Amino acid sequence: MYRKCESKIQNWIESSKKALLIYGARQVGKTYLIRETLKKNGISYCEYNLIERTDILNKLQSIENAADISKTLALYSESPLTESESVIFLDEIQAYPDIVTKIKFLVDEGKYRYILSGSNLGVELKGITSVPVGYMESFQMKPMDFEEFALAAGVSENYISHMRECFNEEKALDDIVHDKLTRAFYYYLVVGGMPAVVDVYCKSSSLSLIYNEQSNIINQYKGDFTKYEQENKRLKIISVYDNIPSQLNKQNRRFSFTMLNKELKFDRYEESFLWLKDASVAIPTYIVDDVKSPLKMSKETNVFKLFLSDVGLLTSCYPDAVRKEILDMNPEKEINCGALFENYVAEEIAAAGIDPYYFKKQAVGEVDFIIEKDGKVLPLEVKSGSDYKKHAALNHLMENKKLNKAYVLSVNNVEKSDAITYLPIYMTGVLCEKTDVGLEDKIAPL
């Protein structure tokens, strides 16, 4: 399966002397992509899964001198390693987060190159006091986005190129291409972007097998939730996670902790919510009370919507009949896909490395998403029905805040009307891609 972030590993192989850290939620394909990229480049490597190899983990934890770590790892390698060329791949490093503080010495030593990978690292690394700045590159890996899914599902690269061309020129797509991509989008809502689930879909097209794989992933997540709960301060992680689907089906989709327990408020659940965010299994979308850059300056940290990191996992909570109707794309069945559409958009925004926000004020109404891209604030309205040109709140926001650009995302083709551009929702990822504007290499002296 094609993954866009393969290029980041490739760049590291070709041009970096630092260690590489890849983190993200379970089952997003980290281990597989690292192995395949190393093999593709003909690089010899040894791999240690620190959860499965408790013997190696115990050995590493007993070593105080960082210089002895490389000797130990090379000793237990099942394949010969070449100094300064071979890679030592430590998987599931959340079992041994202290390796992050020791990587500086291993990089300085220069005997081998190091790739580290793990899940829940946003949780685990909070306890690390010294991060080796300058010695390690890192990036977060997320589920497959729509483009990656479409290519895996057999959509032609020509269709993807045509979509990008039409986005850049703000013109309508060819009808056949638009219909194909729209169908792929509805399939993405059900399958999602977890590679193991996509693989099941591509091999079997079985809705029951897809559901089984999604259930396995959710059960793995819940196993993590239980494992990482503190005995002296029981976190309500599972109850928060389990409530996300029902809360997204509310009209305003705002997460309300009183639905979990009327006696408890946000501050009693805050740590559980932050755990899900830091573990990369949920995406918070905070409310902002203004639409000026930077948006983070006007966000309210206790008012938010909470989306799942993968829309397919959200859809797996729906009954079989609903999932089949989504795949049928029958316009006569009036399925309410609003929550799924918004979850998808939140996911694509996050995949682009952008923080999603939303806006709501009594005098204006609610606008689904506000993002900041290349220094500009952009409102995004998401429409799952046929009335996609009715967006009073967006109109009021544009007028009141003097904004000159906004997007409406629906299943319809590209249209333009003054300051508002109507885009097919499957273009969300392209819309959110950051332009490499950067700063000049040199600045003028004072």
The answer on 168 and 25 residing in a single domain is: no
CA pair distance 227, 230, nearest whole angstrom: 8
The answer on 14 and 100 residing in a single domain is: yes
The answer on 62 and 119 residing in a single domain is: yes
**Domain membership flag for residue 444:** no
Residue 124 has pLDDT above 80, yes or no: no
pLDDT of residue 444: 61
pLDDT of residue 330: 60
**Domain membership flag for residue 437:** no
CA pair distance 193, 170, nearest whole angstrom: 27
Helix residue ranges per DSSP H, 279-424:
311-315, 320-328, 338-351, 392-401
CATH number, domain of 106, equals: 3.40.50.300
Residue 232 has pLDDT above 50, yes or no: no
**Domain membership flag for residue 446:** no
The answer on 34 and 59 residing in a single domain is: yes
Q: Which residue among 125, 140, 155 closes a domain? A: 140
Mean pLDDT of all residues in 127-143: 82
Of these ranges, 67-71, 262-266, 371-375, 408-412, the one predicted with the greatest mean pLDDT is 408-412
Q: For 68-85, how does the pLDDT look when each residue is reduced to its tens digit (9 = 90+)?
A: 999 999 999 998 999 999
Percentage of residues of the chain with pLDDT beyond 70 = 90
The answer on 231 and 161 residing in a single domain is: yes
The answer on 287 and 155 residing in a single domain is: yes
pLDDT of residue 335: 64
Mean pLDDT of all residues in 400-415: 93
Domain span holding position 356: 146-432
**Domain membership flag for residue 259:** yes
Q: Which residue among 98, 114, 140 closes a domain? A: 140
Q: Which residue among 140, 160, 179 closes a domain? A: 140
pLDDT of residue 228: 67
Mean pLDDT of all residues in 89-113: 92
pLDDT of residue 56: 94
The answer on 252 and 366 residing in a single domain is: yes
**Lowest-confidence range among 193-202, 258-267, 370-379, 385-394?**
258-267
Residue 437 has pLDDT above 50, yes or no: no
Handedness of CA 366, 367, 370, 376 (dihedral sign): negative
pLDDT of residue 326: 92
CA pair distance 420, 418, nearest whole angstrom: 6
**Domain membership flag for residue 439:** no
The answer on 111 and 151 residing in a single domain is: no
Q: Which residue shows structure tokens 């899940």? A: 119
44 or 233: which leads in pLDDT: 44
The answer on 69 and 203 residing in a single domain is: no
pLDDT of residue 12: 97
Question: What is the domain count for the chain?
Answer: 2
Q: What is the DSSP letter of 400?
A: H
The Cβ-side half-sphere exposure at 167, using a 13 Å CA radius, reads 19
Q: For 160-204, how does the pLDDT look when each residue is reduced to its tens digit (9 = 90+)?
A: 999 999 999 999 999 999 999 999 999 999 999 999 999 999 999
**Domain membership flag for residue 262:** yes
- Mean residue pLDDT of the chain comes to 90
The answer on 329 and 195 residing in a single domain is: yes
Residue 325 has pLDDT above 70, yes or no: yes
Non-local CB neighbours of 57 within 8 Å, separated by 6+ positions: 50, 51, 95, 96
**Domain membership flag for residue 121:** yes
The answer on 112 and 71 residing in a single domain is: yes
pLDDT of residue 442: 55
Q: What is the DSSP letter of 136?
A: E
pLDDT of residue 422: 98
Residue 334 has pLDDT above 60, yes or no: no
Mean pLDDT of all residues in 230-241: 70
**Domain membership flag for residue 438:** no
Q: For 211-220, how does the pLDDT look when each residue is reduced to its tens digit (9 = 90+)?
A: 999 999 999 9
The answer on 152 and 129 residing in a single domain is: no
Residue 129 has pLDDT above 60, yes or no: no
CA pair distance 30, 280, nearest whole angstrom: 13
